[in-house]
Amino acid sequence: MTKIRSAVLALLALSLCACAPKLETLPTADFQPYNPDLTEVAEPATIRGSYEESTGALGRPSRSVGVFAIDGKVAFKQEGFETPVPLAPGIHSLTIGYLNGAYGDTIPVVLDAKPGGRYVVKRSEDKDWLDGLRYDRIRTWLYIEEEGTGEIAVPKTPDILQSIEGRYQPPSGPGVATIRGTETGSALDGLSVYPIAVDGQIVKEDREQDLLVAARWEPTKSVALTPGLRAIAILAKGGMGNRYLPILLDAKPNASYVVKVEHGLKKFGTTRIFAYTIWIEDSITGEIVVPRADIPGNVYPTL
């Protein structure tokens, strides 16, 4: 069965290569550049990742860890994860992650950057073999440390959301705002986008994972927000993979927000890439409160 499946996938890949759309016919991906205004910041902070060359007698895949997105921006000027990225002091909504050869993963976190802070994203691996039974793979843990003091700014967080302890506790009472996502198609083959985390806390699943079924979040279910600046992680799911967009949203009292998404093939330089286009509207007025932005999905396979 495995050989048959591999042959089918190989034929599918070749068919995709053969019928690849012409690059010039595709729209250009709008990956928002990260370029903070630090002109009035006396002591900017920085954050960086790290890179590790292949090692061992037979060698192993190169491994890197770092920042994939900051406050809705996904395009960075620096070369490599190990180059420091400037930060204005204050709250930031981040996606951090790792690449281990061809494999990798990301998670949404929140960092309260201190003036002059020097932060570094780090990783460790879980050695508990039971993870392979519970989650289909061994977990990798990601965290953020202040280099000068050794203080842990973001505690160790597993790359499998369902295994993160604790859940977001939504507020209640007068004045709260709400945010919800959207979904098209079915749960198996559709496209959905929804808030997966608020202020660094994962939103509670509507169906918890067990040995037989995966965890399930209901995209169109509203999540309550305390008015003010909120760090929200948006999960785009479906199409060619899943991706996070971490944003900062100034939630107004009694406001109702809806996250929307499109998915399609675009060009990025000479590369054909699937992209999610995400934006947020006021669900009552239709006003766009977070502008449309692309986040990269998988690369289109070509020869």
* 140-195 pLDDT tens trace: 899 999 999 999 999 999 998 888 888 999 999 899 999 999 998 755 568 999 99
Answer yes or no: are the C-beta atoms of 202 and 168 closer than 8 Å: yes
Q: Distance between CA atoms of 62 and 98, rounded to whole angstroms? A: 11
CA neighbor of 293 nearest in space, from 34, 68, 30, 35:
30
What local confidence, expressed as pLDDT, does residue 164 receive?
86
* Whole-angstrom distance, CA of residue 168 vs CA of residue 162: 13
User: What global pTM score does this model have?
Assistant: 0.86
- Spatial separation of the C-alpha atoms in residues 83 and 109, rounded to whole Å: 20
In this prediction, residue 165 carries a pLDDT of: 84
CB 264 within 8 A of CB 21: no
